[in-house]
Chains A and B, each alone.
Chain A
Amino acid sequence: AQSVAQPEDQVNVAEGNPLTVKCTYSVSGNPYLFWYVQYPNRGLQFLLKYITGDNLVKGSYGFEAEFNKSQTSFHLKKPSALVSDSALYFCAVRDPQYSSASKIIFGSGTRLSIRP
């Protein structure tokens, strides 16, 4: 069964500093990995995805993530944090060996707080 773990409930970073939000996964085959962001009382917004190819993927709002197969990780990063980046971030995985109806499973979420 596929699963996703986000080991940190909260990450606090000063504005202008680099940020990292951690994610590890477990699937039976090669995974499809996603990062989403959620603002209060809103749905999720897609940030980026890894399907295949270059391990470093770039997404919206200056975010990027690095796929590391040996460590089964897909950490979200940004070189310089903004206060407006403060939100709830979810890592998600989809097992491609199943059909298009394969489930998207989410991690527990990490609350990112950027202080001015």
Chain B
Amino acid sequence: GAVVSQHPSWVICKSGTSVKIECRSLDFQATTMFWYRQFPKQSLMLMATSNEGSKATYEQGVEKDKFLINHASLTLSTLTVTSAHPEDSSFYICSATKGQSNTEAFFGQGTRLTVV
């Protein structure tokens, strides 16, 4: 199988603090990981594409300095929401692929971030 583990499942933080979300591929090497944001009853909005050992590619409108992505190894990518504000509250989902474009992506269980 292909398992992607995302941690934490939920987090509550105070406005102005930073939060780190981890995405791990447990049984395969993920050359590419994707970070999505999902608002209630809406689709997944791609935030950035992360490749191991290189800088992430951010989608238009996503602030690079606010959403820091690090993909330091083939099994781990992290998303840090810096100086979080209530409007950053959302469901964040990561996915990982095995390295070929014809393969499906495997998703983490998501992280519910609430900024108070």
The chain A residues found within 8 Å of chain B, CB to CB, are: 32, 34, 36, 41-46, 49, 51, 90, 94-96, 98-109
A46–B104 contact, CB under 8 A? yes
B32–A108 contact, CB under 8 A? no
Q: Which residues of A contact B97 (CB under 8 A)?
A: 100
Q: Which residues of A contact B75 (CB under 8 A)?
A: none
Give B110's nearest chain A residue, CB to CB: A43
Give B46's nearest chain A residue, CB to CB: A103
Chain B interface SS verdict (over half):
strand
Once A and B bind, how many residue pairs between them come within 8 Å at the CB atom? 66
Give the Cβ gap from B50 to chain A, nearest Cβ, in Å. Answer: 9
B94-108 interface code vs A (CB 8 A; 1 in, 0 out): 010101111011111
Which 6 residue pairs across A and B have the least CB separation, nearest first? A43-B107, A44-B107, A43-B109, A108-B43, A106-B44, A101-B32
Q: Report Cα–Cα, A104/B23, bound state, in Å.
A: 17
* B25 touches A (CB below 8 Å): no
Give the Cβ gap from A5 to chain B, nearest Cβ, in Å. Answer: 11
B106–A100 contact, CB under 8 A? no
Give B10's nearest chain A residue, CB to CB: A41
Give the Cβ gap from A112 to chain B, nearest Cβ, in Å. Answer: 14
* B84 touches A (CB below 8 Å): no
The chain B residues found within 8 Å of chain A, CB to CB, are: 4, 6, 31-32, 34, 36, 42-44, 46, 49, 51, 57, 91, 93, 95, 97, 99-102, 104-110, 112
Listed by A's residue number, 11 A-B pairs whose Cβ atoms lie within 8 Å are A43-B6, A43-B110, A46-B105, A90-B43, A95-B101, A100-B99, A100-B100, A101-B49, A106-B43, A106-B44, A108-B43
Q: Which residues of A contact B36 (CB under 8 A)?
A: 106
Give B102's nearest chain A residue, CB to CB: A51
Q: Report Cα–Cα, A108/B45, bound state, in Å.
A: 10
16 extra A-B contacts, CB within 8 A, seeds A34-B104, A43-B108, A104-B46:
A41-B91, A43-B6, A43-B109, A44-B44, A45-B107, A46-B104, A46-B106, A49-B104, A94-B101, A100-B97, A101-B49, A103-B49, A104-B105, A105-B46, A106-B36, A109-B42
Q: Which residues of B contact A51 (CB under 8 A)?
A: 102
